[in-house]
Amino acid sequence: MIVARHAQSVWNLHFGRDRVDPGIPDAPLTELGHAQALDLARRLAEQDVRRVVASPYTRTLQTASIVGRTLDVPVAIEPLVRERNAFSCDQGSSPEALVGAWPDLVFDGLAADWFGTPIETLEQLRERCGAFARKAASWADFEHVAVISHWGFIRGLTGQEITNAGFVRLARPI
């Protein structure tokens, strides 16, 4: 399985300048972010990706949509790979707003408060990463899935810090 970080968002752009939370909830991609997502799709084409799984935030959905469209593969929603909810950008949109923006994706069962309570503890993050790892390990197509997620989740899952539109390949857990 490949775990990729979403491309640059408007929040990332502003936060990167002075490390102050700019107060932008569920931030979309920047123009550079759209270009990064397309480049990510091209790099993932070399990895035999056959399915994309994405966090329900706008930045991950935009990244996943570009990847899915470019590779002509389906995109599924998985709230377990969401961010830790420590900053303004981690306040997600309602399921109704997401369905309106992405009518071709399935958001069934996505709770109104799917993005969780503010600042998930490290123990809660570890538990969520473990739950996702167990779920993913059961996928028959594990080796052909690209998961579009976030810095905090990827760090919790892999211990690695991934830059925007970067990715890491994981072996199926035993």
**117: pLDDT confidence band, cut at 50, 70 and 90?**
confident
User: pLDDT at position 31, please?
Assistant: 98
What type of residue sits at position 90?
A: D
User: pLDDT at position 144, please?
Assistant: 98
The whole-number average pLDDT for the span 155-165 is 96
User: pLDDT at position 100, please?
Assistant: 96
User: pLDDT at position 51, please?
Assistant: 98
Q: How far is CA 139 from CA 61, 75, 108, 122, 136, in A?
A: 21, 15, 20, 26, 5
User: pLDDT at position 169, please?
Assistant: 97
Percent of the chain topping pLDDT 70 = 99
pLDDT at 174 over 90: no
Alpha helices in 138-174 (DSSP H): 151-158
Q: Report the C-alpha dihedral over residues 134, 76, 39, 2, rounded to 10 degrees.
A: 10
Structural contact between residues 165 and 40, judged by C-beta atoms closer than 8 angstroms: yes
User: pLDDT at position 1, please?
Assistant: 98
Strand locations in 39-153, DSSP E?
Answer: 51-54, 75-77, 145-149
Q: What is the pLDDT of residues 123-159, one digit of tens each?
A: 999 999 999 999 999 999 999 999 999 999 999 999 9
Percentage helix, strand, coil for the chain under 3-state DSSP, each rounded to 5: 45, 10, 45
Helix (H) or strand (E) holding 169: strand 167-169
Spatial distance between the Cα atoms of 143 and 122, rounded to a whole number of angstroms? 28
**Hey, what domains does the chain have and what are their CATH numbers?**
2-169 (3.40.50.1240)
pLDDT at 118 over 80: no
